[in-house]
Amino acid sequence: MRRLLGYFIVLVLFSCSDSPEIPMQDPFSGYFPLQTGTFQLYAVEDIQIQQNVQTRSVYELKTSVVDSFKNEEGGYTFIINRYKRLDSTQPWIALDTWSARTTNRKVIVNEGTIPIVRLILPLSKGQKWNGNEMNTLGGDDDCGSGVEFSCDQFEMGAIGEVFQTGNSSFENTLTVMEENDQDLLVKNDVRKKVYASGNGLVYMENTILNYCTSPPSCYGTQFVNMGIVYKQTLIESGFEK
């Protein structure tokens, strides 16, 4: 295994402006800290909804950086194995393998075979980009310059703020809203991730609810034909023993 030469996205000193921005000269070390042998342990709550009936499951998810190799872009691609278990009394079960890499201005995570642009420079509040620009998934948003097309538009929100979740508090965080369509009649789609300096991804939440729209019986009643409420919270990170 190769040692990682650096971190993804480091948080450096912010200016006192309303829209703090990380200098371009130091872009890839901090918000996604990875090194061969490191792991992150998350608590997960996963609620699946079918015909307004909820099925809730809770479990633990572990991500482990197991290797890296030099890619064709001249950088490094990092191999990430993912595991799950019901609780600490159970053995880990292999889930899948992801990978991550950077270009000169993007952090790209391959979720299986699907590349998602998770972060992009400059790291500044209000920055927007198409998270699906490297795949064919499209999205529910309109993107493009001159000619609009279907995309999944991500937007950077709060930067440099403290994020509190449960008994944990993280300083110097970056929030990315991957979708914020709070339609209470047709489809409620809210997805966000919170990254903390030195910790990487510390929290994510996806709420995707497809409502019944058949008039007049259920339109406007928020009857969920199909949906998911998923929360993932960091509880531990470090080096594998």
Model pLDDT, residue 147: 52
Q: What is the mean pLDDT of each run of 10 residues along the chain (241 residues)?
A: 38 36 46 86 98 97 95 91 97 97 89 95 91 87 65 90 88 93 90 92 96 87 95 93 78
Instruction: Look up residue 203 and give its amino acid.
Output: Y
Longest CA span, the chain: 61
As beta bridge partners, residue 191 has 179, 206
193's CB contacts (< 8 A; 6+ apart) are: 118, 175, 176, 178, 201, 203, 204
Supply 74's token pair.
């001249």
Q: How far apart are the first and last CA of the chain?
A: 16
SS3 24: coil
